[in-house]
Amino acid sequence: MRKLIALVFNYSLNGLLAREGTEYYKFCFELLDQQGGASRDEQTLDLLRNAHAHIMGRVAYEGISTNLPKATSHPWSAPMNAGRKVVFSRTLKTADWANTTIAAGDTREEVDKLRHGDDGHILVWGGVGFWRSLMHLDLLDEFRVSMYPYVADEGTRIFDDVPKSYRLDLLSSTATRSGVLELRYGRHR
């Protein structure tokens, strides 16, 4: 059975996701550039290339599909354009990004269909409401969190309005030269 892995990039020490246009957002991308940019992040590139599917909510889909398909020089463009994408939405009627389908049915049933099989994993891109709904349904198996050495005053809390009890096990932690912690947590079952 394939695992659902939630990708959480640009997460601050005090629990906020970077919001575009803020100082914290600029800081995250400056650090990435100092490390050689996204093309030097082989771990993430392998994760993208080996995914069975990339799933997301409507808001994340609209944001990502606006830019990434045309940004062919971006290292994530090729694996994302070629990869299978599923948008969970009851309002979206069409999806123009290649290899994209819309899942408008019961979320648990749609995820269960995707999980069958042994090859690859399923990457969960968000948005925040989508992550929270998957947490309430207890469908996420792993979180991959990039925690930045920054205390932000603006951003979005992803862990508000979540189940009362949601225990995780630390699977690995790696500190980068720039001070970013790459954390992997698995759902305690």
pLDDT digits 0-9 by tens, 64-106: 999 888 888 888 889 999 999 999 999 999 999 999 999 999 9
Helix (H) or strand (E) holding 102: strand 100-103
CB atoms under 10 Å from CB of 129, counted, come to 15
**Over 60: is that where the pLDDT of 166 sits?**
yes
E strand or H helix that includes residue 77: helix 77-82
What are the residue boundaries of the structural domains of the chain, listed by start?
A: 4-187
pLDDT digits (tens, 9 = 90+) for 7-34: 998 999 999 999 989 999 999 988 877 7
CB 137 within 8 A of CB 165: no
Looking at 3.50.50.60, 3.40.190.10, 3.40.430.10, 3.40.50.2300, the CATH number of the domain 4-187 comes to: 3.40.430.10
Evaluate if residue 45 carries a pLDDT over 90: no
Round to whole Å and give the CA distance between 85 and 100.
5
Decide if 18 contacts 49 (C-beta within 8 A): no
State the DSSP string of 29-65: HHHHHHTT-GGG-HHHHHHHHTEEEEEEEHHHHHHHH
Higher pLDDT, 79 or 118: 79
